[in-house]
Amino acid sequence: MIVVLKPHATDAHIESVLAVATALKLKAHLSKGVERTVIGILGVSADKETLMAQFAQLEHVEHVVPISRSYKLVSKEARPESTIVRLANGATFGGSEVTVCAGPCSVESREQVMETAAGVAASGARVLRGGAFKPRTSPYAFQGLKLEGLKLLREAADAHGLAVVTEVLDVRDVADVAQYADMLQIGARNMQNFTLLQEVGNIHKPVLLKRGISATIEEWLMAAEYIVVAGNHEVVLCERGIRSYDPMTRNVLDLSAIPLVKSLTHLPVVVDPSHGTGARLLVAPMALAGVAAGADGLLIEVHPNPAVALSDGPQSLTLPLFADLMQKLGRVAEAVGRTV
Amino acid sequence: MIVVLKPHATDAHIESVLAVATALKLKAHLSKGVERTVIGILGVSADKETLMAQFAQLEHVEHVVPISRSYKLVSKEARPESTIVRLANGATFGGSEVTVCAGPCSVESREQVMETAAGVAASGARVLRGGAFKPRTSPYAFQGLKLEGLKLLREAADAHGLAVVTEVLDVRDVADVAQYADMLQIGARNMQNFTLLQEVGNIHKPVLLKRGISATIEEWLMAAEYIVVAGNHEVVLCERGIRSYDPMTRNVLDLSAIPLVKSLTHLPVVVDPSHGTGARLLVAPMALAGVAAGADGLLIEVHPNPAVALSDGPQSLTLPLFADLMQKLGRVAEAVGRTV
Amino acid sequence: MIVVLKPHATDAHIESVLAVATALKLKAHLSKGVERTVIGILGVSADKETLMAQFAQLEHVEHVVPISRSYKLVSKEARPESTIVRLANGATFGGSEVTVCAGPCSVESREQVMETAAGVAASGARVLRGGAFKPRTSPYAFQGLKLEGLKLLREAADAHGLAVVTEVLDVRDVADVAQYADMLQIGARNMQNFTLLQEVGNIHKPVLLKRGISATIEEWLMAAEYIVVAGNHEVVLCERGIRSYDPMTRNVLDLSAIPLVKSLTHLPVVVDPSHGTGARLLVAPMALAGVAAGADGLLIEVHPNPAVALSDGPQSLTLPLFADLMQKLGRVAEAVGRTV
Amino acid sequence: MIVVLKPHATDAHIESVLAVATALKLKAHLSKGVERTVIGILGVSADKETLMAQFAQLEHVEHVVPISRSYKLVSKEARPESTIVRLANGATFGGSEVTVCAGPCSVESREQVMETAAGVAASGARVLRGGAFKPRTSPYAFQGLKLEGLKLLREAADAHGLAVVTEVLDVRDVADVAQYADMLQIGARNMQNFTLLQEVGNIHKPVLLKRGISATIEEWLMAAEYIVVAGNHEVVLCERGIRSYDPMTRNVLDLSAIPLVKSLTHLPVVVDPSHGTGARLLVAPMALAGVAAGADGLLIEVHPNPAVALSDGPQSLTLPLFADLMQKLGRVAEAVGRTV
């Protein structure tokens, strides 16, 4: 890290910084400029946050600039080659395939999930998505079918050769979800639920880690680091839109996060244009754009009859719209050297 | 709710909206303007989100505007008089007293917490704050002393007539934290950890609910609704800064949230200028401003020696700075008809 | 517009709203719900903002919801077919062609602009972009070659069959810029410089209107309305990234704005992935994604030697990188039924 | 500035950075850490932006960190003592007085502005505010009385010993506005209208510089630098709320900007709680909070009959509400050692 002193800092102020470095067994490297003195601190290992804070609050320190990244295991430096995450049915994230996960926002009934699974499999999806435990802003909104929903997802997926990805909300449900799902989703609201991250780090199933509603790229990678450091290396990152100031869309889908994150980490990155936009009209263009930007997969909400969906109807594709999108995705994927 | 149709919507489009209303046993109220037809939907009760979505995805519906608020029990309409939350030592939130909670970001040692408790009590604080379970962006950062930290907080508070407020991160720790603390804090990252909200809704201790890092006022009140609907009415809201675009401060402290929230809910509102700014220089002015804006209390980070703090040193006040602030707070509180 | 009353509004409060409507010669339409009364106001014509404000400040009015859009002439309702903007050299925006504008951030020298024009024309660009008048955050930064820069752009473009687009900053420079350029750019910082919008509305050259740094879609369309209402119908909208909270990129490029805006207006929409990301690494993926999302054109910063560029070097492509991008753009455009 | 290299940068990469520094006649200072090499660049003078860009785009440079601030003349280092800006009627900004500017959003009629001036002067305001040239999002909204409005402001102010502050939108109007007003306001939308900043820098009247709608603190100070470097040292900064994600308020008033900016610059800072919140209910609490946070003045919208205001009625105080606020302001100002 680099400690930047205020203009007019005296030798005594410089000494106080050097003394803290010495006390912490760190090397310091002094550089006096015309306006300001800066002091490089070398040898920082694990707890960068704490150390930065200890320097930052010294008198006449203007600010402290981190140099090394806080994430280690998920960084491209730690592992230059891309991680390929493989699900039980053979679908992969991180290779040349663009893997499409599709299904309803919420599992509502056996009929709904069976019809959806059949339809999305026929169009080329490899993974069935669907919520059994639902995080809802309102305590009065439908909270999901829970264990029954998990069983329905498993049954529907098995009938069509699909894998299952579904969200886990509570540390107490991790074992149940892991029993029925092939991939556990950590939702945007739980991206910094650190004890939940640790629990899914302890299991041996892939994890889909959604970006928090206003998470920075670095916070998102640190959340992945929590899972990997606990022992689970199979993490897939999912961009799902960030909060912005314009009420016209639910979120702003940050597609630049795809190439940016892929330059920083070896983990695969997928895109959720359904939550990322909140509007059916925008799902297909943003799905195509996501693949053009280099996404390793997509999460698409599909419902056989969105008009009666218990959640997220306005952003769900019908089965015919999904089939049409898959055709177009194939062409764009081919244009960028990938397959769907 | 109001369903706004696109221009050029035909009678058939209008009929399709009315048919959905009829199917859902809701009354509809048609109003044709020059450009657009709007249809008021009456009789909506609990699950507004789902119903809005069902209308929003109909063809030629432009958007659906909610009319009633989603929160019920926390609203001023449900209870016009202010809720006063009282802690075991007699400190209150929501009355004429401005209650100051002070203490270290993290409990680090018996000596540190005892010295802090003695100092802040002497200056007029009524509640000892301090983290035993710490949510940290990095898995490599100090995670808190956990159970040992809880015991130290209790001991230090009891020695000086203070109450204890401390954060709970995990549903599995709620009972432990409730045993030692007088008030359980839900941190900003967990504001939409709905199962944790339900668990603290099941206990009989006051809850301090921090606003999420980019939560809207409505989402924040809905999070409070989760706690209250579970049976715990003693909720204190805490504004702690929202995420913004300027890297110069850690957060933007939204003081307008105080009078705004107080116009919408009967629950008390306090302010955390320490996390809300991230800079020691800004803590005192923003604490004074918070009281001038009508806050029912303050959370202030105080550390006997911020230079060696394991977290948040740069925003912690020393004990002399805190004592000085309490003097000034008394004068501003008096100017707006309150006491500290 | 719809006036929503607070719960417990009395008949007298309702009457006061109706009285204002009557005084303003507007029709009112009353709808009493269980919780709230809402009053539709019909017949609102031009100055919606003022009228909404007059209702909003009445006692017991909770809020006022606009129903009709504020923009008229630029809306799809006013003109369902797409506007095609054609430049002097035959390049178009809004048809099946994806028109690429390329060139340096700033015009720096005759040699630089001639070399760039030759290179980008050879790779298939149709328009030369470059700044002669530069808006710079710092008064100490390079402010552009001004009139000399305009002449160099014209000369270089003419030598290679390109059109010229360049920014105008000051109402006093509009005539000069219009003399040398084929298209006048209004930069992000000037999107709500209303007198400048009116001046470019008075000329007979196409205008490229960049989205403001944190402009909503509605504000952006209203800025276009200023130009069109003054008499100039040849407006091309340009998404160039919006301000967000993550310091890792300069802006967040909001590609969802492309399909969204195209659903609301008949005007063409192009994308600037160079300013939209601020990082060379991200320009090509986001250019491809922009075309996949439906953009009618692209603005790409290209410099023959970015290492010595006087502005925006880090986000400029070299000529070989640009040539490579144009190849890829052709393939993605074809995949979505367009040509480059 | 500090150039941070990527991990695994070779000696050749280091040499390429040093070569650029040598070519630019800057000194370089090498520091090799365990993970990364950082190179301090010393001797940077005026055009920091350009120089940073030239280093940032070199191969294997991860990022470039600025060390010195871009603003010079407005910084506290350039002038440690506070600037006191004095208007023609003796009102000051930057001393112990908290100067209140009050008046209507728009000048609408002689009667309206005379009545308002009389009322606000009687309650203790020292400056009459009011818009003659109005920046409006919609071309169909009321655009102000222009020159006639300026004359009415002058007449009303003179009748009551008030000074006048009013906005100038267009470089062509600067002379007219300067003739009638005592202080020229640069509005939020024009904070980066650099040619307008230069023009008001050329006159000899104080300037009120509003913070841009999503301007960083540094951008705001750089805008002030444009005015001061042109020769006009009498600049007062005005916090007026920044754009955020919550539709419930028009803006988020960033009161922490007051102590923060006062630690960085010698210029006075005032607060506009009317535009900063957009809601009458929030104006008084935020005005009080602004004074408690250290503001040197306030801008308050006051209208004798907000129900018929042509703009901003919902956030305007009536004359009795303003009189009441002035009483409270006096008490809070006294509590923090100031006078109103």
**Across D73-89, average pLDDT:** 95
Of residues D267, D319, D270, D321, the one with CA closest to residue D294: D270
- Which residue bears the tokens 């929003």? B56
What is the reported pLDDT for D329?
A: 98
Helical H segments across A57-136, by residue range? 110-123
Specify the range with the lowest mean pLDDT, choosing from A224-233, C113-122, D69-78, D111-120: D69-78
Q: Give first-to-last CA distance, chain A, whole Å.
A: 43
- Amino acid found at D86: R
Chain B partners of D285 at a C-beta cutoff of 8 Å?
256, 258-259, 292-294
Q: List A65's β-bridge partners, or say none.
A: A2
What is the reported pLDDT for C50?
A: 75
What is the reported pLDDT for C25?
A: 83
Rounded Cα distance between B86 and B93, Å, is 7
B97 φ/ψ angles, rounded to the nearest 5 degrees = -75, 140
Q: Which residue of C has its CA nearest to A287?
A: C293
Residue B338 predicted with pLDDT over 90? yes
Contact C292 A288 (CB under 8 A): yes
Residue D45 predicted with pLDDT over 70? no
Contact A31 D34 (CB under 8 A): no
Is D85-335 the same fold as D2-65?
Answer: no
Q: Report yes or no: D221 and D265 within 8 Å, Cβ to Cβ.
A: yes
Distance from CA of D155 to the nearest CA of B (A): 35
> A43-74: per-residue pLDDT in tens?
766 577 778 877 887 878 888 887 778 899 99
> A107-145: per-residue pLDDT in tens?
999 999 999 999 999 999 999 999 999 999 889 888 999
Nearest to C219 among D137, D193, D229 (CB): D137
Q: Which residue of D has its CA nearest to C136?
A: D194
What is the reported pLDDT for D28?
A: 85
Distance from CA of C261 to the nearest CA of B (A): 14
What is the reported pLDDT for C70?
A: 83
What is the reported pLDDT for C311?
A: 76
Average pLDDT, chain B: 93
Burial A72-92 (b: 16+ CB within 10 A, else e): bbbbbbeeeebbebebebebb
Contact D58 C307 (CB under 8 A): yes
Q: What is the DSSP string of A155-219?
A: HHHHHTT-EEEEE--SGGGHHHHHHH-SEEEEPGGGTT-HHHHHHHHTSSS-EEEEPPTT--HHH
Reduce the DSSP state of residue A234 to 3 states and report it. coil
Torsion angle, CA of D174/D177/D182/D184, rounded to 10 degrees? -50
What is the reported pLDDT for D2?
A: 84
**For chain C, what is the largest distance between any 2 Cα atoms, rounded to a whole number of angstroms?**
76
Sheet containing D27-32: order of strands:
D27-32, D37-42, D2-5, D61-65
- Contacts by D26-33 with C-beta closer than 8 Å and gap 24+? D26/D51, D29/A31, D31/A29, D31/A31, D31/A40, D31/A42, D33/A40, D33/A42, D33/A43, D33/A67, D33/A68
Residue from D61, D106, D138 whose CB has the most chain C CBs within 10 Å, to mutate = D138
Q: Report yes or no: A142 and A312 within 8 Å, Cβ to Cβ.
A: no
C279: which DSSP letter?
A: -
Share of chain A residues as helix, strand and coil, in percent rounded to the nearest 5? 40, 20, 40
Q: Which residue of D has its CA nearest to B252?
A: D254
What is the reported pLDDT for D328?
A: 98
- B99-103 vs B127-129, strand pairing mode: parallel
Of residues D231, C295, D285, the one with CA closest to residue B256: D285
The more confident residue out of D257 and D136 is D257
What is the reported pLDDT for B40?
A: 83
From the candidate CATH numbers 3.20.20.70, 3.40.30.10, 3.30.70.20, 3.60.20.10, the one assigned to the domain spanning C85-335:
3.20.20.70
CA distances from C16 to B329, C13, D280, D307 (A): 43, 5, 19, 11
Distance from CA of D189 to the nearest CA of C (A): 6
Across the A:D interface, residue pairs with CB atoms under 8 Å apart total 56
Contact B256 D244 (CB under 8 A): no
Contact A289 C290 (CB under 8 A): yes
Contact B33 C247 (CB under 8 A): no
What is the reported pLDDT for D275?
A: 95
H or E element, residue B175: helix B174-180
**Across A188-203, average pLDDT:** 97
Distance from CA of B15 to the nearest CA of C (A): 19
Residue D46 predicted with pLDDT over 70? no
Dihedral sign from CA coordinates of C300, C304, C307, C308 = negative
Contact D292 B292 (CB under 8 A): yes
Contact A139 B53 (CB under 8 A): no
**Across B160-185, average pLDDT:** 98
Neighbors of chain B by Cβ distance (3+ pairs < 8 Å): A, C, D
Rounded Cα distance between C236 and C182, Å, is 13
Q: Report yes or no: D170 and D184 within 8 Å, Cβ to Cβ.
A: no
Quickly state the pLDDT bin for C45 (edges 50, 70, 90).
Answer: low
> D137-152: per-residue pLDDT in tens?
889 888 999 999 999 9
> B245-278: per-residue pLDDT in tens?
998 899 999 999 999 999 999 999 999 999 999 9
> A153-169: per-residue pLDDT in tens?
999 999 999 999 999 99
- Which residue bears the tokens 């594709």? A317
**Across D274-299, average pLDDT:** 96
Task: Say if residue A215 is exposed, middle or buried (CB neighbours under 10 Å; 0-12, 13-18, 19+).
Answer: buried
Nearest to A293 among C246, C288, C331 (CB): C288
Percent of chain C residues topping a pLDDT of 70 = 99
CA R_g for chain A: 23
The answer to whether ipTM exceeds 0.90 is yes
Rounded Cα distance between D169 and D166, Å, is 10
Percent of chain A residues topping a pLDDT of 90 = 72
Q: Report yes or no: C129 and C312 within 8 Å, Cβ to Cβ.
A: no
Residue B45 predicted with pLDDT over 70? no
Q: Which two tokens stand for residue B305?
A: 């020696």
> C309-329: per-residue pLDDT in tens?
777 778 899 999 999 999 999
- C2-5 vs B235-239, strand pairing mode: unpaired
Q: Which residue of C has its CA nearest to B248?
A: C247
- A183-186 vs A207-210, strand pairing mode: parallel
For the beta carbon of residue C29, count every other beta carbon within 10 angstroms: 18
Q: Where are the domains of chain C?
A: 2-65, 85-335
Rounded Cα distance between A101 and A183, Å, is 11
Chain C partners of B4 at a C-beta cutoff of 8 Å?
67
Q: Report yes or no: C291 and C328 within 8 Å, Cβ to Cβ.
A: no
Rounded Cα distance between D200 and D219, Å, is 18
Residue D98 predicted with pLDDT over 90? yes
Contact B20 A307 (CB under 8 A): yes
Contact C31 B40 (CB under 8 A): yes
**Across A283-303, average pLDDT:** 98
Average pLDDT, chain A: 93
**Across C60-88, average pLDDT:** 89
Q: Which residue of D has its CA nearest to C17?
A: D307
> A68-91: per-residue pLDDT in tens?
788 999 999 899 999 999 999 999
Chain B partners of A72 at a C-beta cutoff of 8 Å?
140
Task: Say if residue D12 is exposed, middle or buried (CB neighbours under 10 Å; 0-12, 13-18, 19+).
Answer: exposed
What is the reported pLDDT for C281?
A: 93
Of residues B261, B180, B260, B252, the one with CA closest to residue B223: B261
Quickly state the pLDDT bin for C21 (edges 50, 70, 90).
Answer: confident
Q: Which residue of D has its CA nearest to B215?
A: D246
What is the reported pLDDT for A46?
A: 58
Residue D196 predicted with pLDDT over 90? yes
> B182-231: per-residue pLDDT in tens?
999 999 999 999 999 999 999 999 999 999 999 999 999 999 999 999 99
> C231-264: per-residue pLDDT in tens?
999 999 999 999 999 988 999 999 999 999 999 9
For the beta carbon of residue C271, count every other beta carbon within 10 angstroms: 30
Residue D1 predicted with pLDDT over 90? no
Residue D309 predicted with pLDDT over 90? no
What is the reported pLDDT for A45?
A: 63
C11: left (phi over 0), alpha (psi -120 to 50) or beta: alpha
Q: Report yes or no: A300 and A315 within 8 Å, Cβ to Cβ.
A: no
Of residues D269, D267, D273, D299, the one with CA closest to residue D285: D273
Q: Which fold, B2-65? A: Alpha-Beta Plaits (3.30.70)
What is the reported pLDDT for C23?
A: 82
CA distances from B125 to B160, B166, B303, B315 (A): 10, 15, 14, 18
Rounded Cα distance between D242 and D216, Å, is 9
Q: Report yes or no: C129 and C165 within 8 Å, Cβ to Cβ.
A: yes
Rounded Cα distance between D126 and D129, Å, is 10
Contacts of D32 (CB under 8 A, 6+ apart): none
**Across D262-278, average pLDDT:** 96
Chain D partners of A29 at a C-beta cutoff of 8 Å?
31
Chain C partners of A293 at a C-beta cutoff of 8 Å?
285-286, 288-289
Dihedral sign from CA coordinates of A244, A250, A255, A261 = positive
Specify the range with the lowest mean pLDDT, choosing from A20-34, C289-303, D311-325: A20-34
Contacts of D45 (CB under 8 A, 6+ apart): none
Q: Report yes or no: A150 and A176 within 8 Å, Cβ to Cβ.
A: yes
Distance from CA of D108 to the nearest CA of A (A): 31
Q: Which residue of C has its CA nearest to B244?
A: C245
| 3-class secondary structure per residue, C82-145 | CCCEECCCCCEECCCECEEEEECCECCCHHHHHHHHHHHHHHCCCEEECECCCCCCCCCCCCCC
Nearest to D57 among C53, C140, C280 (CB): C280
Percent of chain B residues topping a pLDDT of 90 = 72
- B99-103 vs B92-93, strand pairing mode: unpaired
**Across A20-38, average pLDDT:** 81
Q: Give first-to-last CA distance, chain B, whole Å.
A: 43
